[in-house]
Structure 1
Amino acid sequence: MLNKLFQDFDFAQLNSADFKEDSVREVLILPILTQLGYGSSQIVRSKSLLHPFLKVGSKKRFVTLIPDYLLKVENSYAWVLDAKAPNQNIHSGDNVGQVYSYSIHPEIRSKFFALCNGREFSLFRQDTPEPILYFELIAIADYWDELSAYLSPSSFQTGKVLAYTTPKKVIKTAPFSYLDCSLLEEIPVKKQSAKRHFGVHGYFTKQSWNVVNEYIKNFSQAGDLVLDPFGGSGVTAVEAMMLERRAIHLDLNPMSTFLIDALTCPIEIVDLQCSFDRVKSAYMQHEPTTTETIDTALKKYAYPQDFVLPKGSDVELIQDLFSQEQLAQLATLKHCISQELNENNRKSLLLMFSGLLNKINLTYHASEGRTEGRGNSSVFAYYRYRLAKAPAFVDLKKYFDSRLQKVLNAKREIASKINASTIEHLQVIQGTATDLSFLKKETVDYIYTDPPYGKKIPYLDLSVMWNAWLDLPVTEQDYCLEAIEGGEHEKSKADYNALIAKSIEEMYRVLKFDRWMSFVFAHKDPEFWHLIIETAERCGFEYAGAVAQKNGQTSFKKRQNPFTVLSGQLIINFRKVRKPKYIMKASLGMDAGEIVLQTIEGVIAKYQGATLEQINDELIIKGLELGFLDLLKKEYSDLTPLLLDLFDYDNDTELFSIKQNKQFKTHVDLKLRVRYYLISYLRRMEIEKKTARFDEIVLAIMPLLKNGITPESQTILSVLEDIAHRAGEGWRLNADGQATLDI
């Protein structure tokens, strides 16, 4: 390799005073670029860049920056390379800072930058202070595979654009291939059709079981190990077991691990029913209903006292969430359950008891127009302990009976797949996603996880009532490790970011190569998406595409806060491969504001009115796909003020539309708009390994171009010919870069 690159070059020449920076460029750097696969049209030499901040002199002359090499892939700058003289330091200091300034320039925005002084080669990522690759040039053969994996044109990719279509059922007949798995598109939700999840026990968030089921089925096969390090309500683990996979359910909240352990512990149905009858009979003999028996029960039986509730609660201490009668009855029932000798029966009965806590407290309110049992606890509705104006007092015995039926239905449904013979394939662990040390590296086959969303839900704070009644300890260390923003411990955004980043690093470590991770997120702040992408790529994950996925019914929280709660989510998919491709930032020729407004108006035009979720989804995925997510996070972390200012909003339909008698505001050059959407569409076709026909292209992008003058097909064709080439009966993006439009 050394001779192939440098044709017997004598490295002793580097000691000569005549061998300077220009010699490094011509003799050593150009052969490296050529061997990496860059053609002359992809190598931009000595491009002048206006310094975004500095001007000098009374006439304010601009200061220019001139990087030696800009390397292009698909008309976007993939990385920057600067040559230095052999005696220059390229590991740290001012030289590194200089090239870093080129990489972050608004016209460049490249993820990678490199320096070469003839003796050594150093490669940096924008987010790493130390080189990610550093070697002596004479030893380049030993580092070539790694260098090529980072910097060859094929190492860069763009994301999958959003498609709003129903997935097609595919019957797989060929042998299962992990790397050939295709992305799923949006899946119709069947939230209430699985008794194993619906009705057993409330939780703050739940993934739709059939969506999780389809993802596990698509990205893994029977016998594989599936991990959910933010296990929550346990949908991932249960569905993995139902599909004959092995499963690990991990969560910091002991309430979460109790629920899954109690649901999945094997029991005999008849034996559990007998156990229930004994408990109910014992309870009825001692049921406290009078002042005297209530006082006696409160003295005799243990109940949680003096647990401090989170700030914002209507009362300070846990016992104030209940009437004296409720405390006495719950304490009596729990004592009766504790007398059962069979551990799994006892766990199952405590699961029924825990489900009762949602109804037997002073925050519980019946839904208007429904029976007393059809309501909710405020902690699930408002994410705080709010006393009901008129608490609904329900009969404990009646709803304990209904809990039995719910749990039995769930147990019957899972019995064929989760039983005494298979339970060893399930691990339920109370712990943190930041430390998966109980797993060896590269032992997990698939990860599907739904992490906490910033300050949306402080799980440990809100679980106090259940953890206290169930005697589940929560330590100070647990609170420190909880990946949230805010909460009782007033954790900062930086704390949250660091914990999520560490969790992704651990997920990368334990996942096998050529396997997938699906990361669910429903946050409207693009900064969190940027964090996920940057962290995942830094670890070595390859972004494979994001898909919009609805959750089903609009939540109460969404109805109360339509602009701060998203009813849908995005599922972002990564692969762990040995030579990952990196998302490259496209040169679009317009600033972030134009891109944002252009995209919003395009979505509104496409759907004749768009929801906040549709706008947010499109912007996030466009940001991923074309690489402007970093700009989006800086300038548009909250779209609500912009949307309400520039567009009409219909409270009934929840749709944004162009203001009455107003035209679209963006006046971007027609050809540039066409180019923007053509690149997006053709890149999606490329990832899906499809070739697009011209009429399909026109039908796909025409609805997005209604602002301004609608283009003729000939206009679309002329731009298409500039950025793509014919491939059979269709079109594909040029592989060696696209011509820049004069605008």
Structure 2
Amino acid sequence: KGHPRRHLIHKFWARKPHNVVAEYIKHYTKRGEIVLDPFVGSGVTAVEALILGRKAVAIDLNPISTFITEMVAKPLDLKDIEKAYREIKRKAREKIRELYVTTCNKCGKDANIMVCVWERKNSNPLEIRFYCPTCKKKRSKSPSKEDLQKIERINIMDTPYWIPNVALRYPDGKEYKEGTHIKEASTLSRLFTKRNLVALSILFHKIEELEDDTIRDFMKFAFTSMVHLASNMTPDRPTRPFSSFWAQHRYWIPPRFLESNVWALFRSAIWGRQGLVKGKKDSNNAIKYFKQAKKFEELENDANILISTQSALDLSNIPNNSVDYVFTDPPYGGDIQYFELSTLWLAWLRGKHEDKRFNLDWWEDEITINSEQNKDFDYYHNRLHVAFREIFRVLKPGRYLTVTFHNTDVKVYNSIIRAVIFAGFELERIIYQPPARASAKALLQPYGSAIGDYYIRFRKPIGFVGKIEEREIDEKRAKTIILNAIKRILMERGEPTPLTDILKGHTLIYSELRKHGYRFFGTNPERINKVLEENRDKEFIFIKGQGWWFKNPSKYHPELPLNERVEAVVLDTLHRKVATFDDILQDIYLRFTNAQTPSPNSVKEILKEYARPEARKWKLNPRIREQEKEHSEMIGFLAQIGKKAGYQIWIGQKEQSDIFQGKPLSKLCDFKELSLENTSYDDIQRYVKQIDLLWIKERKVAFAFEVEYTTAITDAFMRCSMIPESHHTKRFIVIPEEREAFMYRKLHSELLRERVEKEGWKLIFFRDLREFYSTTKKKLSISPKEIVEIAKTPVEKREKQVTIDSFANQSSSNGLLEN
């Protein structure tokens, strides 16, 4: 679901879907139990816990996080907001409004500038977009001489009140990693036009003059919810010409940006659809009881929330084994630089009088990867481990920790899992959840951006005592366990697999090691890779561009290739609906977990083959539906041809109900029950009866045909391989001609190549079969050789052929006419 208004008052990064978080809290806790989030972010976990009647501990090192959490959760009389807004309006609106007065180019009356469009390289705006109260319309114009003179006057005036002039750099002079990297815009004040800086200074000063501490905080909350929208970091969007937004997770000033009316932004921050009034009305109604604790012990009485600005590295204010559930969203490596990005808000909140709640030096303990802070991956991993050791200590035995994160970097993924396991937790399950609303990245890449989150469940074991240490182990035995787990992963995937996908099998590898007492041996990806390398050319081979595979696949009986199983799910989804990329990923990730989870890129390749993009969604290609109809037609043709060739006909069980020439295909089937020489009842029922079409004589299969319009053909080969060699069966794949290149690559894969060569598979194209059927329609009998003549050996690229005779000549020269 989309976020409710309580979670939309203030911008924050990577906010998790409230309903998903709430479901986890409901599942793992009871009313009155304590839920901890040590990386609370915008407070979703804490707020939803309160709504559900639980008690919450909201911890974050970032002061803006705990401030947002408190402002969202804390009850507020809406009349107090209205009263404070009227007071600020009386003192500040006219002073700010006169900065944005222009003349309507239609009626000549005063109008209110809503936004100005600037180019970074120019000293004057390119366009003014305004609202004319006389015309009662929004209009636009080029700046007039008077407009430019007003800007000149503002540019030389002093800002009337305090403004933050914090440099976007660290104490040692290094520029923020996510800074502007523009010399002229190296401080916060340089992120704004002079007009907006003047307006913001007036507005913030009038908020500071409010007497009530709580109301003043809420008005500052509204101020920081819009201050970034008044900056130069808001690109001009043709589709939203009057709307500004912070486009990237950095201090990026686009080449063409908006200067938005500060008072209009503040009014919207109070009264707008995502404003303070509607947001607090929502939270007031949802949270029935709120009493803030000053220390953890007060939660044992009538307090129900503790909000603390502190590091997750030290939870010494929380007793051992005292928390019932932990749900948290830790930092994703260096994906989002929270300290740097929060500086914009914190510098204003700290204010002229340096409010100690909003310090600007907490970056020293931030868990991140940032070369400007001299923090590398090892720093990130070690600090993460310490944090999860503390989380482990405070969680009750037998209770659960859910870690959620959004990062496709396998190194970060594995770092988080290792940090949690080494803290003492047991890994239990990994699932995928798509987002309720597409991110900016997804909107830029609507047909192929993986934009959801992973949720990983861990459990604190009962009876655990003492410090976690990796015991002395029999390394050879542990490697054997990892080796067997890798084999199982490859068998389950049924196809060559890259290391990154093998590492998704952490749950399997870890659980197998844990069973044998080797709790931590397999948590290091390098060890898993080492086992693969040690068994290269013994158990495994590495196929360039594909990944690791069995040296001798037939020894292991791998399952149907994962790619083909995924393909079936994609087709099923597309048959049911026009779907977004994430709708499709959700269907896939519900079925394929851990090591079987396919990469988004592989899913995208399947979509390119079977669907077409349309209005940010994927729609099944009409050609696929046509080929589905042709599937039944081809089986019907082959059945009639087979009868003329003197064979009895068997049609696959699933296909018998399909319609051919107005009748079910079952009408062409000569058997009610199939019985074959040297073939067990089980093999017939499970495999042979599922083959699309068989030509049979004297209880032996002379010809076997699989009619395919997708690339998922491994199952077809497996079915046909159950026909005994003593039948001397000729085997054919019947496909649309445009599928030949795909089929060639399939037939030459490590999984199928040996079987294809041994069993002598050939191709027949739909076009050639249709032409053959048409030319032999009036014949009473047909020689079996004639069907062989139109078959081909698959090639990756075929010269264009125009007649059936030229095909036959080519086939003859290739020796395909031998019986």
TM-score (norm 2): 0.51
Determine whether 1:353 maps to 2:223: yes
Q: 1:285 to 1:369 in 2, by over 3 A?
A: closer
CA deviation profile, 1:103-147 (whole Å, cap 9, x unmatched): xxxxxxxxxxxxxxxxxxxxxxxxxxxxxxxxxxxxxxxxxxxxx
The aligned residue for residue 363 of structure 1 is 233
Determine whether 1:482 maps to 2:366: yes
Q: Which amino acid aligns with 2:377?
A: K
Aligned-pair CA distance for 1:555: 2.2
Q: Which of residues 177, 180, 192 in structure 2 aligns to 1:313?
A: 180
CA deviation profile, 1:596-646 (whole Å, cap 9, x unmatched): 877777599xxxxxxx9x969955556556669657457889xxxxx9983
Determine whether 1:191 maps to 2:70: no
8 Å contact kept, 1:364–1:388:
yes
The aligned residue for residue 469 of structure 1 is 348
d(CA) in 1 for partners of 2:389, 2:712: 38
1:536-615 aligned at under 5 Å gives the runs 536-557=420-441, 566-579=450-463
Q: Which amino acid aligns with 1:313?
A: T
Determine whether 1:503 maps to 2:387: yes
8 Å contact kept, 1:205–1:233:
no
Q: 1:462 to 1:708 in 2, by over 3 A?
A: farther
The aligned residue for residue 376 of structure 1 is 245
The aligned residue for residue 334 of structure 2 is 455
Aligned-pair CA distance for 1:219: 0.3
Q: Which of residues 21, 35, 40 in structure 2 aligns to 1:231?
A: 40
The aligned residue for residue 403 of structure 2 is 519
The aligned residue for residue 187 of structure 1 is none
Instruction: Give percent identity, aligned residues only.
Output: 24
Q: Which amino acid aligns with 1:399?
A: L
Aligned-pair CA distance for 1:239: 0.5
d(CA) in 1 for partners of 2:481, 2:267: 63
8 Å contact kept, 1:262–1:344:
no
Aligned-pair CA distance for 1:712: 8.4
The aligned residue for residue 399 of structure 1 is 265
The aligned residue for residue 646 of structure 1 is 545
The aligned residue for residue 302 of structure 1 is 162
Structure 2 residues without counterparts, runs of 5 or longer: 100-149, 170-175, 293-302, 471-476, 514-520, 531-541, 563-589, 595-681, 691-710, 724-819
Q: Which amino acid aligns with 2:428?
A: A
8 Å contact kept, 1:549–1:569:
yes
Q: 1:259 to 1:682 in 2, by over 3 A?
A: closer
Q: Which amino acid aligns with 1:394?
A: S
The aligned residue for residue 326 of structure 1 is 196
d(CA) in 2 for partners of 1:420, 1:593: 51
Aligned-pair CA distance for 1:275: 1.0
Q: Which of residues 252, 266, 272 in structure 1 aligns to 2:81?
A: 272
CA deviation profile, 1:75-127 (whole Å, cap 9, x unmatched): xxxxxxxxxxxxxxxxxxxxxxxxxxxxxxxxxxxxxxxxxxxxxxxxxxxxx
d(CA) in 2 for partners of 1:683, 1:208: 22
Q: Residue 488 of structure 1: SS of its match in structure 2?
A: helix
Name the structure, 1 or 2, with higher relative contact order (CA <8 Å, separation 6+).
1
Q: Residue 318 of structure 2: SS of its match in structure 1?
A: coil
How large is the RMSD of aligned CA atoms in angstroms? Answer: 4.6
Q: 1:365 to 1:586 in 2, by over 3 A?
A: same
8 Å contact kept, 1:212–1:236:
yes
CA deviation profile, 1:325-373 (whole Å, cap 9, x unmatched): 1111111111111111222222221111111112100111243412421
8 Å contact kept, 1:203–1:233:
yes
Q: Which amino acid aligns with 1:201?
A: H
8 Å contact kept, 1:540–1:576:
yes
CA deviation profile, 1:526-557 (whole Å, cap 9, x unmatched): 44444444443443322221212222344223
Q: Which amino acid aligns with 2:339?
A: L
d(CA) in 2 for partners of 1:622, 1:505: 23
The aligned residue for residue 429 of structure 1 is 308
d(CA) in 2 for partners of 1:528, 1:599: 25
d(CA) in 2 for partners of 1:350, 1:300: 19
The aligned residue for residue 744 of structure 2 is none
8 Å contact kept, 2:430–2:593:
no
Q: Residue 308 of structure 2: SS of its match in structure 1?
A: strand
d(CA) in 2 for partners of 1:465, 1:564: 32
CA deviation profile, 1:691-742 (whole Å, cap 9, x unmatched): xxx99xx99xx99994895368999xxxxxxxxxxxxxxxxxxxxxxxxxxx
8 Å contact kept, 2:482–2:509:
no
d(CA) in 1 for partners of 2:19, 2:384: 26
Larger Rg, first or second structure (1 or 2): 2
Q: Residue 285 of structure 1: SS of its match in structure 2?
A: helix
Q: Which amino acid aligns with 2:39?
A: F
CA deviation profile, 1:242-279 (whole Å, cap 9, x unmatched): 11111111111111111112222221111211111211
1:65-84 aligned at under 5 Å gives the runs none
Q: Residue 448 of structure 1: SS of its match in structure 2?
A: strand
8 Å contact kept, 1:229–1:433:
yes
Q: Residue 446 of structure 1: SS of its match in structure 2?
A: strand
Q: Residue 226 of structure 1: SS of its match in structure 2?
A: strand
Q: Which amino acid aligns with 1:247?
A: A
Q: 1:282 to 1:218 in 2, by over 3 A?
A: same
8 Å contact kept, 1:453–1:521:
yes
d(CA) in 1 for partners of 2:198, 2:205: 11
Q: 1:224 to 1:250 in 2, by over 3 A?
A: same
Q: 1:363 to 1:532 in 2, by over 3 A?
A: closer
CA deviation profile, 1:445-467 (whole Å, cap 9, x unmatched): 11000000112111101211111
Aligned-pair CA distance for 1:524: 2.8
8 Å contact kept, 2:442–2:451:
yes
d(CA) in 1 for partners of 2:528, 2:713: 24
Q: 1:589 to 1:475 in 2, by over 3 A?
A: closer
Q: Residue 392 of structure 1: SS of its match in structure 2?
A: strand
Q: Which amino acid aligns with 1:304?
A: P
Determine whether 1:710 maps to 2:589: no
Q: 1:509 to 1:632 in 2, by over 3 A?
A: closer
1:247-262 aligned at under 5 Å gives the runs 247-262=56-71
- The total of aligned residue pairs comes to 478
d(CA) in 1 for partners of 2:212, 2:288: 16
The aligned residue for residue 493 of structure 1 is 377
8 Å contact kept, 1:250–1:430:
yes
Aligned-pair CA distance for 1:585: 6.9
Q: Residue 571 of structure 1: SS of its match in structure 2?
A: strand
8 Å contact kept, 2:398–2:460:
yes
Q: Residue 12 of structure 2: SS of its match in structure 1?
A: coil
TM-score (norm 1): 0.56
Q: Residue 213 of structure 1: SS of its match in structure 2?
A: helix
Which has the higher mean CA deviation after the structures are superposed, 592-601 or 529-538?
A: 592-601
The aligned residue for residue 444 of structure 1 is 323
Q: 1:256 to 1:305 in 2, by over 3 A?
A: same
Q: Which amino acid aligns with 1:242?
A: I
Aligned-pair CA distance for 1:300: 3.0
Q: 1:666 to 1:540 in 2, by over 3 A?
A: closer
d(CA) in 2 for partners of 1:564, 1:502: 36
